[in-house]
Amino acid sequence: MTPTRVLATAPSPAALTAGTDDTVGLASLVIAAIAVVALVWVLVLLARQRREVRRANDLLDLSRELRHRYDALQAVTKEGVLVVSLSGTVLDISDRAATILGVVPDAAVGRHLTDLAVVLVNEQGLAMNPAGVLGYRTGRAGYTVDSQLVGVAVASPTGTQARMVQVSSQLVAAADGDAPAVLTTLVDVTGSRQVEAALSRSETQFRVAMENAPIGMALVDLDWHVVEANAALAELLGTTVDALRGYPMEALGTPESRASERLEVDRLLGGGQHRFSVEKRYQRADGHLVWVVLDAALVRSPTGEPDHFVVQVRDSTESKLQAEMLTHRAMHDPLTGLANRTLLQEVLQSVLEQPGVVDRVAVLACDLDGFKEINDRYGHAAGDEVLVHVAGVLRAATARRGTVARLGGDEFVVVVQDVDGPRAVFEVAAAIHAGLAEPVRVARRRMQVAASIGIALADPETVQGGAPGLLAAADSALYRAKAAGRGRTEVYDHSMGRSSSVDLLRELTDALDADELVVHYQPIVDLADGRVVGYEALVRWQHPYRGLLLPSAFLGLAQEAGLAVPLGQLVATKVAEFVATSPDRTTWVSVNVSADQLGDGEFATTLLAEISRHRLMAGRIVVELTESSLVASGTRIRHELTQLSAAGVPILLDDFGTGVSPLSYLRDLPVAGVKLDMSFTSGIPDDPTAGKVVRALGALARELAMVTIAEGIEHAEQAEYLHRNGWRYGQGWLYGGAQPAPGSPEAATAVPLPGVVRRPDAAARPTPVAPPLAGMSAPPRPAQPGTPHPAADGPPAPTGSA
With CA atoms as reference, report the closest residue to 271 among 304, 303, 302: 304
Least confident interval from 24-38, 411-425, 448-462: 24-38
CA dist 344 → 331, 406, 779 (Å): 8, 9, 54
754 vs 523: CA distance, rounded Å: 7
Banded model confidence at residue 171, pLDDT cuts 50, 70, 90: confident
When the pLDDT of each residue in the chain is averaged and rounded to a whole number, the result is: 80
Query: What is the pLDDT at residue 18?
Result: 66
346 Cβ partners below 8 Å, 6+ apart?
A: 331
285 & 251 share domain: yes
Residue 42 in any domain: the answer is: no
CA dist 84 → 128, 559, 661 (Å): 18, 102, 85
Residue 274 · residue 296 · CB < 8 Å? no
- The whole domain housing 158 covers 74-188
Banded model confidence at residue 789, pLDDT cuts 50, 70, 90: very low
159 & 232 share domain: no
Residue, of 173 and 275, whose pLDDT is higher: 275
Across 3-12, 148-157, 685-694, which has the greatest mean pLDDT? 685-694
**Domain end marker among 449, 465, 498:** 498
11 Cβ partners below 8 Å, 6+ apart?
A: none
Tens of pLDDT, residues 325-384: 777 777 888 889 999 988 998 899 889 888 888 889 999 999 998 887 787 777 888 888
Residue, of 432 and 462, whose pLDDT is higher: 432
Query: What is the pLDDT at residue 138?
Result: 62
**Domain end marker among 321, 341, 372:** 321
Query: What is the pLDDT at residue 783?
Result: 35
Residue 16 in any domain: the answer is: no
Task: Tell me what the mean pLDDT of segment 23-37 comes to.
Answer: 84
Query: What is the pLDDT at residue 709?
Result: 93
Task: Tell me what the mean pLDDT of segment 170-196 comes to.
Answer: 75
Banded model confidence at residue 16, pLDDT cuts 50, 70, 90: low
- DSSP letter string, 284-296: -TTS-EEEEEEEE
Task: Tell me what the mean pLDDT of segment 150-179 comes to.
Answer: 75
Asked if the peptide bond before residue 685 counts as cis, ω within 30 degrees of 0, the response is yes
314 & 337 share domain: no
Task: Tell me what the mean pLDDT of segment 757-776 comes to.
Answer: 42
Checking if the pLDDT of 622 tops 90, the result is yes
Checking if the pLDDT of 2 tops 60, the result is no
156 & 212 share domain: no
CATH number for the domain that contains residue 518: 3.20.20.450
Query: What is the pLDDT at residue 538?
Result: 92
Residue 691 in any domain: the answer is: yes
Query: What is the pLDDT at residue 630?
Result: 57
Sheet strands (E) in 443-593: 445-447, 450-457, 489-491, 517-526, 532-543, 547-549, 588-593
179 & 92 share domain: yes
100 vs 119: CA distance, rounded Å: 11
Tens of pLDDT, residues 49-81: 888 888 888 878 777 776 677 666 666 677 888
Helix, strand, or coil here: 189? coil
Q: Domain total for the chain?
A: 4
Residue 24 in any domain: the answer is: no
Banded model confidence at residue 633, pLDDT cuts 50, 70, 90: low
Banded model confidence at residue 174, pLDDT cuts 50, 70, 90: low
Banded model confidence at residue 32, pLDDT cuts 50, 70, 90: confident
Residue 237 · residue 285 · CB < 8 Å? yes
Query: What is the pLDDT at residue 123?
Result: 77
Residue 453 · residue 335 · CB < 8 Å? no
**One-letter amino acid for residue 176 of the chain:** D
Checking if the pLDDT of 108 tops 90, the result is no
Neighbours of 508 (CB within 10 A): 22
Checking if the pLDDT of 732 tops 50, the result is yes
Angle at which helices 380-398 and 371-378 pack, to 10 degrees?
140
646 & 544 share domain: yes
Task: Tell me what the mean pLDDT of segment 670-674 comes to.
Answer: 87
488 & 570 share domain: no
350 & 313 share domain: no
Checking if the pLDDT of 525 tops 60, the result is yes
Q: Kind of pairing, strands 289-300 and 275-283?
A: antiparallel
Checking if the pLDDT of 799 tops 50, the result is no
248 Cβ partners below 8 Å, 6+ apart?
A: 224, 225, 226
In eight-state DSSP terms, residue 761 is T
Task: Tell me what the mean pLDDT of segment 700-719 comes to.
Answer: 88
Angle, CA 501 vertex, CA 499 and CA 504 arms, to 5°: 115
With CA atoms as reference, report the closest residue to 368 among 439, 436, 429: 436
Residue 150 · residue 120 · CB < 8 Å? yes
Residue 31 in any domain: the answer is: no
Residue, of 689 and 264, whose pLDDT is higher: 264
Query: What is the pLDDT at residue 750?
Result: 52
CATH number for the domain that contains residue 460: 3.30.70.270
**Domain end marker among 471, 498, 525:** 498
CATH number for the domain that contains residue 145: 3.30.450.20
User: Strand pairing partners for 276?
Assistant: 296
Across 123-127, 311-315, 701-705, 740-744, which has the greatest mean pLDDT? 311-315
| Phi, psi (rounded to 5 degrees) for 124 | -90, 0
Query: What is the pLDDT at residue 222?
Result: 92
178 & 251 share domain: no
Helix, strand, or coil here: 414? strand
634 & 668 share domain: yes
555 vs 559: CA distance, rounded Å: 6
798 Cβ partners below 8 Å, 6+ apart?
A: 619, 650, 672, 707, 772, 773, 774, 775, 776, 778, 780
Query: What is the pLDDT at residue 743?
Result: 61
Banded model confidence at residue 527, pLDDT cuts 50, 70, 90: very high
Helix, strand, or coil here: 144? coil
Which DSSP helix (H) or strand (E) runs through 20? helix 13-76
Query: What is the pLDDT at residue 576?
Result: 93
Checking if the pLDDT of 600 tops 90, the result is no
Residue 146 in any domain: the answer is: yes
327 vs 332: CA distance, rounded Å: 8
Query: What is the pLDDT at residue 244?
Result: 92
Task: Tell me what the mean pLDDT of segment 432-441 comes to.
Answer: 90
277 & 392 share domain: no
| Phi, psi (rounded to 5 degrees) for 499 | -90, 80
244 & 391 share domain: no
Residue 707 in any domain: the answer is: yes
Tens of pLDDT, residues 459-513: 888 788 788 888 888 988 888 888 777 788 999 987 775 445 566 777 888 888 8
Residues of the chain above pLDDT 70, percent: 81
Least confident interval from 122-126, 173-177, 617-621: 173-177
Task: Tell me what the mean pLDDT of segment 627-656 comes to.
Answer: 76
Residue, of 701 and 765, whose pLDDT is higher: 701
Residue 179 in any domain: the answer is: yes
Residue, of 50 and 628, whose pLDDT is higher: 50
Task: Tell me what the mean pLDDT of segment 522-538 comes to.
Answer: 93
186 vs 97: CA distance, rounded Å: 6
Query: What is the pLDDT at residue 564?
Result: 84
Tens of pLDDT, residues 579-598: 999 888 889 999 998 877 87
Task: Tell me what the mean pLDDT of segment 437-455 comes to.
Answer: 87
255 vs 238: CA distance, rounded Å: 19
Task: Tell me what the mean pLDDT of segment 666-683 comes to.
Answer: 81
660 vs 506: CA distance, rounded Å: 36
Residue 693 · residue 699 · CB < 8 Å? no
Banded model confidence at residue 84, pLDDT cuts 50, 70, 90: confident
